[in-house]
Amino acid sequence: MEAGRRRRGRSTKDSADLKVEILRAATAEFSTKGFDGARMDAIARRAGVNINLVYHYFGNKDALFVAVMEAAYLTIRTYHNDINLRALDPEAAMSELVRSTFRLFSDNLHIIGLLSSENMHEACHIRQSEQIRNLYNPLLDFIGETLARGVAEGTFRSGVDPVELFITISAQSYFHLSNRHTLGFILHRDLTSAESLAARQRHVVEVILSFLKHQARNSSDA
Amino acid sequence: MEAGRRRRGRSTKDSADLKVEILRAATAEFSTKGFDGARMDAIARRAGVNINLVYHYFGNKDALFVAVMEAAYLTIRTYHNDINLRALDPEAAMSELVRSTFRLFSDNLHIIGLLSSENMHEACHIRQSEQIRNLYNPLLDFIGETLARGVAEGTFRSGVDPVELFITISAQSYFHLSNRHTLGFILHRDLTSAESLAARQRHVVEVILSFLKHQARNSSDA
Amino acid sequence: MEAGRRRRGRSTKDSADLKVEILRAATAEFSTKGFDGARMDAIARRAGVNINLVYHYFGNKDALFVAVMEAAYLTIRTYHNDINLRALDPEAAMSELVRSTFRLFSDNLHIIGLLSSENMHEACHIRQSEQIRNLYNPLLDFIGETLARGVAEGTFRSGVDPVELFITISAQSYFHLSNRHTLGFILHRDLTSAESLAARQRHVVEVILSFLKHQARNSSDA
Amino acid sequence: MEAGRRRRGRSTKDSADLKVEILRAATAEFSTKGFDGARMDAIARRAGVNINLVYHYFGNKDALFVAVMEAAYLTIRTYHNDINLRALDPEAAMSELVRSTFRLFSDNLHIIGLLSSENMHEACHIRQSEQIRNLYNPLLDFIGETLARGVAEGTFRSGVDPVELFITISAQSYFHLSNRHTLGFILHRDLTSAESLAARQRHVVEVILSFLKHQARNSSDA
DNA sequence: GATGAATGAGGTTTCATTCAT
DNA sequence: TATGAATGAAACCTCATTCAT
């Protein structure tokens, strides 16, 4: 069995990977149970290691959570870096940003659980990380520049706050997934099916693009 | 003296209100700490009662949480009932719905904490409540009818799914607040200031209305 | 429903019976759960009365248990009084005593539970009752006299201690029932079926009578 | 100092014995207080260990009780194994079985307390143990074979059910001790004195042997 | 580096009992 | 007589963490 193999005869190379494995286990535990619901020994069990190893590598529960959050934000950064949007025209760039944001969350549900828990704790863990603090600056710059390019070429409405737009884009994808259980119950619909997700993604793109392009034609509204 | 009055000889009126007081304390505790982070004795202390009274009235932690959720959803229903939107024209009705949804969350931040925690637990508590299950049916009907009216009079685009729209409307208000701590940190902006909230509300209305009215004029987009 | 009828519009005659009803409920609870496993509020619920009434009538858990034990020993006395054995010849009298002892326990399983619990507490409750202390004196006298009659007429062996014989008679019936659950499990046999009980009763009579009559014929044994 | 040695720096040999020590303490607590009356912290105190160690080794109260019961039944098996009765002639074998059963209980009063409590709980704990389920099979076989040998050589009566006989033998020893407190009170006799125990043992052997040999001479009785 | 032993603090819950009416 | 409110004590159990090897 896996567990047996793990407990005995670990090679030196395995040892080097243990930290990664613990981090993965902690991510799974924290994201599904929340910080308070997560158990250190459950994390150790998930990772197939002795609980003391967890303390050896990460110090304590809070520090472990910080490490998990930093890794999660690295994933986010990766998703943003993977797309080279600046080469695209403003409309294509923006719709691709919306789509990649949707994929970011739907491919990494654990990020939603982690962010949800971290907000319950008033972001006390990530506040300790300078690395995270400035993670979004490039993205906000990109949004601002793309908006400007769109306005310049007459495609986008003017006067849109990049921060507000970023929140709107994230909100559309995040909320659908973060609240999938309560929404599924009161709306009598499974929000996690492949069709539901595809429809949501299409809808989100439509909403954002409609908004951006709307004002460009009729500036008397709103 | 206060303490003496509390311990002995509480008047009947006091007694009748104790349940309400406990419920309020539990709401505060659960919404700020989450289900797992909440402490029963902290709830009792907040309510100024002996912890056993909490058990006397509500049985156990889970049942108390269910009671809190039911009260929270009643608040939600109240917010929806307070506005008589059916008398308004479609555009006014919809923009008022967006605004009231925003107020619902910004006036009742505790609801966000409760929903967040409940989703971490896969909605296991509210699933026990038939009352909650069908709470949103009338609202969805209203959205569907209003959309139809807007389409009929040529104001709104056609083909919008009421459920999808409802999620979009909620998402815009909810996410801004549910993730205010992490967003505040990475965006370097206080999302809870009066100006920030007012700006967000305006933005949200604009986004939704742009979307609804966009397709009515140009159906080749998106 | 019963309970409803009980709670409302109780007649004065009903009130007089409440003590009896509580006692019956307490007997059921104590005998099936033991003193420590019994719950005062479960007793009140079983009786369909408010728990404070239990305290009103009986003071506390220990006193209630004493009352239950006294009632139980009254049942025992009744079973002994019901049979007028002194008119019978020694052998018939003795075999009838064995049978009535068996019936005493098989008809009143609760007595077994109560005695078992009371012995776990080193008889601390019944020690408070003078009434119980001397309850068995007449029975022991009867056994002694019957033994003497049997010896005199040549039916019974001599030298039998009445107390020892009483224990033997009780043991045979009691143990089969008191340990029916563990015995049933390790012996792979249901000891509570009608056939099993009938067979046991026959067996017990046979054992006792064999013993009493044996020595009368062969005094070299043992 | 004793306490210091206990708290820190326990030698490995000590550690290995802790489980046994806890089990002994648990046996004492459970057998004298019953399952419901027993307290986990009292067990820890009796064993001189931290209460959490008890949970570390045994999981919970029920599992600890199961462990205690299994150890108790092992003691029972030991008592039965220690005597090599098959080599003896039927009468000697049977009288030795009766005596060893008596010793089993009088040497191990805790077994009586444990069995009494377990029966109050309808054997719910030992039912989980396959080991216990078949513990008595060899003993029942032995009784059946010995009876047959006795019948074949004309010493014992025929038609005796081995299970019934086993219950009778156990009952005689068990009841005297299990109910020693209530019996002592109502019979005005100390049943635990050395003389009383010796007399009981003699009496029990006599009763069983009389029964077994009786029918062999006079089959018209009973 | 890695592990089993050990612990303190505290969490939820139960329960006998009393108070006030 | 009868009852809902209220409480203190303690029970079982969990969990993050540290110690000793």
Contact A168 B33 (CB under 8 A): no
Reported as a single tens digit per residue, the pLDDT across B172-194 is: 999 999 999 999 999 999 999 99
Amino acid making up residue D167: I
Average the pLDDT over each of A175-189, B156-170, D127-141 and give the range with the smallest value.
D127-141
Mean per-residue pLDDT over chain B, rounded:
88
Reported as a single tens digit per residue, the pLDDT across A105-154 is: 999 999 999 999 999 999 999 998 888 998 888 899 999 999 999 999 99
The answer to whether the beta carbons of residues C85 and C146 sit under 8 Å apart is yes
Residue in the structure block whose two tokens are 């009932």: B81
Contact A34 B117 (CB under 8 A): yes
Alpha helices, DSSP H, located in chain C: 2-7, 12-37, 40-47, 51-58, 61-82, 90-107, 109-120, 130-133, 137-152, 162-178, 180-187, 194-217
Indicate which of B80, B131, B178 best probes the interface with A, i.e. most A CBs within 10 Å of its own CB.
Answer: B178
Per-residue pLDDT of chain D (222 residues; tens, 9 = 90+): 333 333 334 444 456 678 888 999 999 999 999 999 999 999 999 998 989 999 999 999 999 999 999 999 989 988 875 567 888 999 999 999 999 999 999 999 999 999 999 999 999 999 988 889 988 988 999 999 999 999 999 999 999 999 999 999 999 999 999 999 999 999 999 999 999 999 999 999 999 999 999 755 544 443
Whether any strand E atom is under 7 angstroms from the Cβ of C207: the reply reads no
- Looking at residue C126, what DSSP letter applies? G
Whether any strand E atom is under 7 angstroms from the Cβ of B125: the reply reads no
The answer to whether the beta carbons of residues B107 and B197 sit under 8 Å apart is no
Reported as a single tens digit per residue, the pLDDT across D53-69 is: 999 999 999 999 999 99
Whether any strand E atom is under 7 angstroms from the Cβ of D49: the reply reads yes
Tell which strand E nucleotides have any atom below 7 Å from a protein Cβ.
1-21
pLDDT-derived band at B83 (thresholds 50, 70, 90) equals low
Residues spanned by CATH 1.10.357.10 within chain A? 63-214
Q: CA nearest B124: which of B55, B39, B61, B57? A: B61
pLDDT at B17: 79
Q: How far is CA D136 from CA A32, C26, C184, D100, D212, in A?
A: 49, 36, 11, 15, 21
Mean pLDDT of all residues in A69-74: 93
Contact A164 B123 (CB under 8 A): no
In terms of phi and psi (left: phi > 0; alpha: psi -120 to 50; beta: otherwise), the region of C196 is alpha
Amino acid making up residue C77: R
pLDDT at A43: 95
Q: Which CATH class is domain D10-59?
A: mainly alpha
Residue B51 has pLDDT above 70, yes or no: yes
Q: Does domain C60-217 have CATH number 1.10.540.10?
A: no
The answer to whether the beta carbons of residues B187 and A136 sit under 8 Å apart is yes
Residues spanned by CATH 1.10.357.10 within chain B? 62-217
Q: How far is CA B219 from CA B208, B211, B214, C60, D93, in A?
A: 17, 12, 8, 81, 102
Contacts of B208 in chain A (CB under 8 A): 207
Whether any strand E atom is under 7 angstroms from the Cβ of D40: the reply reads no
* Residue A108, helix vs strand vs coil: coil
| CATH code of domain B62-217 | 1.10.357.10
Contact D207 C203 (CB under 8 A): no
Whether any strand E atom is under 7 angstroms from the Cβ of D53: the reply reads yes
Which among D37, D122, D208 is the nearest to C181, CB-wise?
D122
Whether any strand E atom is under 7 angstroms from the Cβ of A54: the reply reads no
Contact D37 C36 (CB under 8 A): yes
* Residue A157, helix vs strand vs coil: coil
Contacts of D213 in chain C (CB under 8 A): 214, 221
Contacts of B206 in chain A (CB under 8 A): 211, 221-222
Residue B3 has pLDDT above 60, yes or no: no
Q: CA B154 to CA D56: how far, in whole Å? A: 71
What residues contact residue B115 under an 8 Å CB cut-off, 6+ apart?
A: A179, A182, B72, B174, B178
CATH superfamily for D66-217 is: Tetracycline Repressor, domain 2 (1.10.357.10)
Burial class of residue A100 in the structure, from the number of CB atoms within 10 Å of its CB (0-12 exposed, 13-18 middle, 19+ buried): middle
Q: What is the 3-state secondary structure (H, E, C) of chain B?
A: CHHHHHHCCCCHHHHHHHHHHHHHHHHHHHHHHHHHHCCHHHHHHHHCCCHHHHHHHHCCHHHHHHHHHHHHHHHHHHHHHHCCCCCCCHHHHHHHHHHHHHHHHHHCHHHHHHHHHHHHCCCCCHHHCHHHHCCCHHHHHHHHHHHHHHHHCCCCCCCCCHHHHHHHHHHHHHHHHHCHHHHHHHHCCCCCCHHHHHHHHHHHHHHHHHHHHHHHHCCCCC
pLDDT at D28: 95
Residue C162 has pLDDT above 60, yes or no: yes
Mean pLDDT of all residues in C194-220: 85
Q: CA A176 to CA B171: how far, in whole Å? A: 7
Whether any strand F atom is under 7 angstroms from the Cβ of C47: the reply reads no
- Looking at residue D156, what DSSP letter applies? S
CB atoms within 10 A of CB A9: 8
pLDDT at A82: 53
The answer to whether the beta carbons of residues A49 and A58 sit under 8 Å apart is no
Q: How far is CA B73 from CA A183, A189, B108, B135, C111, in A?
A: 13, 19, 11, 8, 53
Whether any strand F atom is under 7 angstroms from the Cβ of A60: the reply reads yes
Residue B214 has pLDDT above 80, yes or no: no
What's the residue count for chain A?
222
Q: Which residue is nearest to nucleotide E5 (CA to C1')?
A: D15
Total-model pTM: 0.88
pLDDT-derived band at A81 (thresholds 50, 70, 90) equals low
Report, at the CATH architecture level, how domain C1-59 is classified.
Answer: Orthogonal Bundle (1.10)
CB atoms within 10 A of CB B15: 9
pLDDT at C2: 39
Alpha helices, DSSP H, located in chain A: 2-7, 12-37, 40-47, 51-58, 61-82, 90-107, 109-120, 130-133, 137-152, 162-178, 180-187, 194-214
Which among A132, A171, A182 is the nearest to B119, CB-wise?
A182
pLDDT at A222: 39
Beta strands in D41-140 (DSSP E): none
Amino acid making up residue D219: S
Q: Which residue is nearest to nucleotide E20 (CA to C1')?
A: B9
Which among B117, B163, B202 is the nearest to A187, CB-wise?
B163
Which among C126, C176, C214 is the nearest to D210, CB-wise?
C214
pLDDT at A79: 81
The answer to whether the beta carbons of residues B111 and B75 sit under 8 Å apart is yes
pLDDT at D217: 53
Contact B116 A118 (CB under 8 A): no
Tokens of A219: 């500036």
pLDDT-derived band at B18 (thresholds 50, 70, 90) equals confident
Residues spanned by CATH 1.10.10.60 within chain D? 10-59
Helix, strand, coil % over all residues of chain D, rounded to 5:
75, 0, 25
pLDDT at B100: 93
What residues contact residue B190 under an 8 Å CB cut-off, 6+ apart?
A: B184, B196
Q: How many CA atoms lie within 13 A of B219 on its CB side?
A: 9
Q: Does domain A63-214 have CATH number 3.40.50.300?
A: no
pLDDT-derived band at C15 (thresholds 50, 70, 90) equals low
Contact D34 C117 (CB under 8 A): yes
Burial class of residue A144 in the structure, from the number of CB atoms within 10 Å of its CB (0-12 exposed, 13-18 middle, 19+ buried): middle
Indicate which of D186, D203, D213 best probes the interface with C, i.e. most C CBs within 10 Å of its own CB.
Answer: D186
What residues contact residue A78 under an 8 Å CB cut-off, 6+ apart?
A: none
Residues spanned by CATH 1.10.10.60 within chain B? 1-59
Residue B11 has pLDDT above 50, yes or no: no
Q: How far is CA B95 from CA B72, B102, B131, C203, in A?
A: 24, 11, 28, 90
pLDDT at A83: 61
